[in-house]
Every structure is written in structure tokens, then in C-alpha cells.
Amino acid sequence: MIIKCPHCGPREASEYTYIGDASIQRPDHNDTDMEKWSDYVFMRENPRGAHMEHWQHTSGCRSFVKVLRDTVTHEISDVTLEGPWQAEDKS
Amino acid sequence: MSRYSAFSLIKNALSGHKNWKRTWRAAEPKPHYDVIIVGGGGHGLATAYYLAKEHGIRNVAVLEKGGLGSGNIGRNTTIVRSNYILPANTRFYEHSMKLWEGLSNDLNYNMMFSQRGVINLAHTPGQMDAFARRGNAILLEGVDAELLDTEEISRRVPGLYTGQNTRFPIVGGLCQPRGGTARHDAVAWGYARGADKYGVDIIEHCEVTGFIKDGDTVTGVKTTRGDISAPKVAISVAGNTSTVMKLASIDKMPIESHVLQAFVTEPLKPLINTVVTFGAGHLYISQSDKGGLVFGGDLDGYNSYAQRGNLPIFEHVAAAAVTMFPNLARLKLLRNWGGIMDMSMDGSPIICTGPLPGMYLNAGWCYGGFKATPAAGWCFAHTIANDAPHALNADFTLDRFYNGRQLDERGAGPYPAHQ
């Protein structure tokens, strides 16, 4: 599996660390609704097919990237930088 | 149905093995059953068997989308052990161990259950302390455990490298002498034959495509072979739990599906007569009766529904195997395969009623599905028959993730890939 890093170009997936599902949103820190927090911590859509996920290029530029990957074919259709650097992403 | 015995073997040998009967009927789906079990793997078949045997519920259908036993029951490393540390897990897996010990007789089918021991290796003094604590917790539950020093390990596993000239030298280990291996396919076939004997319909190539609901209550399933109704619908589909639950409009589960690979080498003369696990990385290895070394390691690490893995884990696992047993370096691998694990967010399983009325759920088996097969079937059958869990699976609820009662065996937090 090859993930195309916006900085470093196409690199083997073993250079990256899988962080997890990128579709979940952390509730606001002042939100004390326990059910929302349980949903955030434990509940996953776990789709068969397109899955948006966080990876980190740990053995490369150490950027966090958002990857759109198919969980059946492992085909990667999109990789974007995360965080404030997203605006500089020219890929 | 005829019993298998030395006599039946001789009789069939004399007629050239041409008169063996089918092991189970090729059943056609009926429009109505008392219980429908979705998923004809080890767990689903065991559930059907114990429903019929222990609870007298025989009007049961097991629906399997592919061929029987084509999922994880045939895609594991066949290891059986019950050396867990949390009381709920220890008791459950020990019940499973006791069922394993009598299973060949109970089913009249040779499970080739071999209690050759499972040795977990420790590589640091801290890990030895943790093993001592784990072993004591296990002994307090009445389960067997033995702490081993390096000399004893080298005596028991002669091919293992126990020297100091390595990144992670072995300093000792924890053994469960009653642990071991079983023939995985025989488990599926034995339970299928046992359930069939009681009149359970095992329906292969019948995929569930939807649920029939009356309001919120599940009253049946839509399948590729027509609609089937039943007051009780039990889900036992391992890595496909999330996809099947979506058919019932339950969009989120505390589960991620991950691929776990396993490998088998070309056959060798006897080399390893126990099961050994590497404690500094993740590898478990044993030798099958045919002589092949069977081993597996970590998950590939990202969500996957593909029943195949990628090469980095292949390399990692092979490297760990050669670190432990340097004499394996020139062996050829015959096959590798991947199974889709239903990794729950705390590493422990779910066997409960619900989440909808008329529905029952058995899921979240992580690495433990194979060894759990007998007890999972036994407890799930009890839960279905009584509409309430048995004491052994009372803690394996789905709502534990909402009320702070997670069973985090590894103390690893809500991170399925690192269990």
C-alpha cells in the first residue's frame, strides 16, 4: 500500500502510523453530555468501503494527513495535510 | 445419523470409503423458525448446537452467506488458552476450556484437541513481575499457571534462542499447561454435524440482505433465498458485525474491523511441541500435526474488510519468528491468509440481548474468537433461550461502553488496533 504524502511524495504505508477514524468529531470540552463522549470514544461507523482516516508520516516529515481509503480494496483516493498547514497543501 | 467409531471406520474402509453419509443435510429454508442464527461460523454453529442440546430449541436455522466455515473459523492459528486476568474473562474462557476438554466426546467428532501448553515469553524483569501477578490472579480463579525460568524454557523448547546476544533476550515465561491447539475446521464440521443431528437447518449460500421489523421489533430476515420469519434473530457474524447491524439501521457499533494474518510453513519433522508466544513483539507459533509451523502476529493496523493482508506485517512476523527460532530462517512459507476480526473498543467480547427487541448479539471477539467458540455458543444459546445472559456473559454487555464498565484486559484504552 502506497500513500502519497503531500510533502514527500508516494511512500510505502509502513513509513506511516495509522491514527484512526477521521469522521468522528470530539465534543466541545465544556459539553458534559456523557452519551456524546461515549459515542466519541467508543462508537464507530466502521464502513465497508470508503473510510476517511488520520495517518501520520512518522518515518518521514511527521505530518498528519487525512486519507480517504477503501477498506475492501485498500485503494487510496485522496490525501490531504491536516492542521494549519492544510492551506499550503499544493498537491 | 451413524456414530463415528473404529468400527464405522473399518466398515467403510472395507467398502472403499464410498458409503460415508453426508455430514449434514443441505437444508432448504423454511418460511418460519423459532430462532434464526445469522452466520454459519464456529460461533453460530455452536450456538445452534447448544440451543438444541441444552435448551430443547430445535426449530432453528443457521444462515451462512458463503460455504460453511469459510470465515474466521478456518482463518485462525488454532490456539486455545484461558489465561486471562480480568475475572469476567478468566471465568468465561475457563468455561470454554472445560467444554474443549470434553468436546470430541460430546460431538463424537475428533477435534484433535491437544493440550500441549502455551508459553508466553518475558523479556524484561518488569514483564516477569507482570507475569507473576497475572499467574497468581489466574491461580486464584482456579485455573492453571506456571512461572518458568529460562533454563526450564530452554529445556521445554529446544529450538528457541535463549542466549543474550539479541535485542530482547528471554528472561522467563508464563505457561498454561492446559492450553494448546485444536483442529479448526473440525470445530465447524463437528458442531454442524451435532446441530444437524438435532434437526437444525444449516442453510449455506444464503445471505441476509435486510431485517423484517414490526416497529422496532425484529421479526425476521430478508435473504437471497427469500424472507424468513422468527421471533428471535441472533447475529453472530464476526468481522461483518457493523455491516449487518447497518441493515437494521444501527449505524454505529463499538467495533472496528481489522485484518489479522496467519502463516504456515512447509512441513518439518517435530520441532516445537508446545505453543510459544514472543513477549517483546507479537508472535505466536505452534506446529501442526502435519508438521507445518503455524504462526501469526499483529493486526495490519488499519480498518480492513479485505480477507488478505499486506507485506509489512508479513516481514515483521517472519522477523520475529526468526529472532525466536533462528533455525527457521531458510524455511519456505506455504500459505498465508487473513481473517477479519471484530475488534471491540475494550478488547473484550459482547454477548447480549438486543440492541433491538427480537435481536441477540454475539460480537467483538478480537483475537479470542477461536478459543471462545464452545463457551460463546453455550452462553449465546443461554441468552437466546432465556432472554437474559448467563452469569458467565453477564458482563459482556453492549451498554458497558456507556456506563463505564468496559473490560479492558490489556489496560490499553479505547484503541482497538493495539489490543
**What's A77's domain CATH number?**
3.30.2270.10
- Predicted pLDDT at B419: 39
* Mean of per-residue pLDDT scores for chain A: 91
Tell me the backbone φ, ψ of residue B176, rounded to 5 degrees: -110, 100
- Predicted pLDDT at A86: 75
What value does the mean pLDDT take over residues B60-80? 92
- Predicted pLDDT at B409: 84
What value does the mean pLDDT take over residues B328-345? 92
Mutation site for B-interface testing, chosen from A46, A48, A71 by largest number of B Cβ within 10 Å: A46
User: By residue range, what is the domain housing residue A50?
Assistant: 2-27+34-88
B418 interfacial to chain A (CB closer than 8 Å): no
Render B367-385 in DSSP notation, one character per residue.
GGHHHHHHHHHHHHHHHHH
Q: Cα-atom radius of gyration of chain B, to the nearest Å?
A: 21
Other CB atoms within 10 Å distance of the CB of residue B61: 25
Tell me the backbone φ, ψ of residue B386, rounded to 5 degrees: -105, 0
What value does the mean pLDDT take over residues B149-163? 93
What value does the mean pLDDT take over residues B368-377? 95
Report how far residue B11's alpha carbon sits from residue B105's, in angstroms, rounded to the nearest whole number: 21
- How far lies B103's CA from each of B81, B187, B353, B405, in Å? 15, 9, 26, 32
What value does the mean pLDDT take over residues B33-55? 96
Task: Kindly report the nearest CA distance between residue A64 and chain B, in angstroms.
Answer: 15
Other CB atoms within 10 Å distance of the CB of residue B288: 17
Q: Tens digit of pLDDT for each residue in B194-249?
A: 999 999 999 999 999 999 999 999 999 999 999 999 999 999 999 999 999 999 99
A77 interfacial to chain B (CB closer than 8 Å): no
- pLDDT band of A87, cuts 50, 70, 90: low
- Predicted pLDDT at B413: 76
Local structure of A57: helix, strand or coil: coil
What value does the mean pLDDT take over residues B76-90? 92
Q: Which range in B8-22, B31-45, B293-307 is most confidently predicted, on average pLDDT?
A: B31-45
- Predicted pLDDT at B275: 95
Partner-chain residue, chosen from A14, A39, A74, that has the shortest CB–CB distance to B312: A14
- Does A43 contact B414 at a Cβ distance shorter than 8 Å? no
C-alpha cell at A55: 495517518
- Predicted pLDDT at B214: 93
What value does the mean pLDDT take over residues B240-263? 94
- Does A71 contact B417 at a Cβ distance shorter than 8 Å? no
- pLDDT band of A89, cuts 50, 70, 90: low
- Predicted pLDDT at B417: 60
- Predicted pLDDT at B412: 76
C-beta pairs of B397-405 under 8 Å, 24+ apart in sequence: B397/B350, B397/B352, B398/B254, B398/B350, B398/B352, B398/B354, B398/B355, B398/B361, B400/B346, B401/A38, B401/A41, B401/A42, B401/A43, B401/B254, B401/B345, B401/B346, B402/A34, B402/A35, B402/A38
Structurally, chain A folds into a number of domains equal to 1
- Predicted pLDDT at B328: 92
- Does A74 contact B303 at a Cβ distance shorter than 8 Å? no
- Predicted pLDDT at B318: 92
* Cis status of the peptide bond prior to B355, with omega within 30 of 0: yes
A53 interfacial to chain B (CB closer than 8 Å): yes
**Cβ-Cβ contacts under 8 Å for B45 (sequence gap 6 or more):** B62, B68, B188, B191, B192, B195, B202, B377
